Amino acid sequence: MAFSGIVLNGGTSSRMGRDKGQINFHGRTLLTVAIDSLTDACADEILIVGGDKLPNYPNKSITLLDDLFPNEGPLGGIITGLRSTKNEIAFILACDYLDIDSELVKECIASLGSYSMVSPLYKNRKQFLFSAIKTEILNNLEEHFANGVRSMHEATANINYGTYKSSRPENLRSANTPSELNE
């Protein structure tokens, strides 16, 4: 199935205190972990929203996009990516997931089915920033954003959104603070 990868690489995190994408974790930057997961899952294109460093991946279509809505949260980054994608399906991936891989990406995409957007649960929380999404809902998300909505939970309330249980939920942890890098 053809899909585009959208990596949310928003830059300096207030809780982390630095650019999450450039954090070195087990010998790779978190941005590289995200790109490798999408590349290995055979994403047709990878769009990196935010940041200013484009990693070198020969023979892979990777585009760095300026966030159209800086400092407005992940919903703006998702809209930025969806506006530029060439496929009907995209995979949304924040750059702060530590232990993900292509199999988890493929599992999520396979769970999309008739949903407009789907994500796994991690500790009973919806993982909006690790999700498969049909680009047809862009207008719906833009409308919410224009009306002041910034919460992913609120923006997805009236779409056909689903969740699933991941085969490896322990690999869905992300890091928002320095201490979470060591857990």
Q: Which of 21-30, 39-48, 83-92 has the lowest mean pLDDT?
A: 21-30
How buried is 113 (Cβ within 10 angstroms: 0-12 exposed, 13-18 middle, 19+ buried)? exposed
Write down the pLDDT at residue 144: 96
> Given a cut of 90, is residue 181 above it in pLDDT?
no
Write down the pLDDT at residue 71: 87
Give the pLDDT band (50/70/90) at residue 60: confident
CB atoms under 10 Å from CB of 129, counted, come to 18
* DSSP element (H, E) containing 83: helix 74-84
Walk me through the domains of the chain, giving residue ranges and CATH numbers.
Answer: 4-181 (3.90.550.10)
Give the pLDDT band (50/70/90) at residue 92: very high
Q: What's the chain's Rg over C-alpha atoms?
A: 15
Write down the pLDDT at residue 124: 93
- Over residues 161-177, the mean pLDDT reads 88
Given a contact cutoff of 8 angstroms between Cβ atoms, the answer to whether 10 and 165 are in contact is no
Structure tokens at 105: 């990406």
Distance of CA 173 to the CA centre of its chain: 13
Structure tokens at 41: 């899952």
Give the pLDDT band (50/70/90) at residue 105: very high
pLDDT in tens, 129-152: 999 999 999 999 999 999 999 999
- Over residues 10-15, the mean pLDDT reads 58
pTM over 0.85: yes
> Given a cut of 80, is residue 44 above it in pLDDT?
yes
Please state, rounded to an integer, the average pLDDT across all residues of the chain: 88
Give the pLDDT band (50/70/90) at residue 178: low
Write down the pLDDT at residue 12: 54
